[in-house]
Structure 1
Amino acid sequence: MKTKRFKRVYNEGAMAVSEIFVDQETGVNYFFHSNGNAGGLTPLLDKEGKVVVTEIADTSF
């Protein structure tokens, strides 16, 4: 069985939805926000503007 590449690690909202996904191959975190039929996806950044990367072993939760 092949593991899914992206794992949702955070979710909030019903009409306006905010989610964070982790790429299980690279560890890069992505922020997704949608409201109605509009949405956007971007890499999640820390306070220094660097891409948030989760160690792959940490995505097994």
Structure 2
Amino acid sequence: MEKKRFVRTYRQGTLDVIEVFVDRETGVNYIFRTAGNAGGLTPLLGRDGKPVVTPILEEE
């Protein structure tokens, strides 16, 4: 079975949804927000303005 490149690590809300995805190849976190028919994706940034990077996740 092929590993998924992006893994959802967080989800909040039902109509206005915020999700965080981690790129398994780079460890970079992305935040995805949807509200109604609109949505957007951007790298999740820390206080220093740099992308949040987590250790590469192993698939369970």
5+ residue gaps, structure 1, are: none
Counterpart of 1:46?
A: 46
Which amino acid in the other structure matches residue 4 of structure 1? K
Counterpart of 2:36?
A: 36
Shift of residue 55, structure 1, vs aligned partner: 1.2
Question: Which protein is richer in helix relative to its size?
Answer: 1
Q: In 2, Cα distance between the equivalents of 1:12 and 1:44?
A: 15
Question: Percent identity among equivalent residues?
Answer: 59
Q: In 1, Cα distance between the equivalents of 2:54 and 2:2?
A: 20
5+ residue gaps, structure 2, are: none
TM-score (norm 1): 0.91
TM-score (norm 2): 0.93
Counterpart of 2:6?
A: 6
4+ residue stretches of structure 1 with deviation over 3 A? none
Which amino acid in the other structure matches residue 54 of structure 1? T
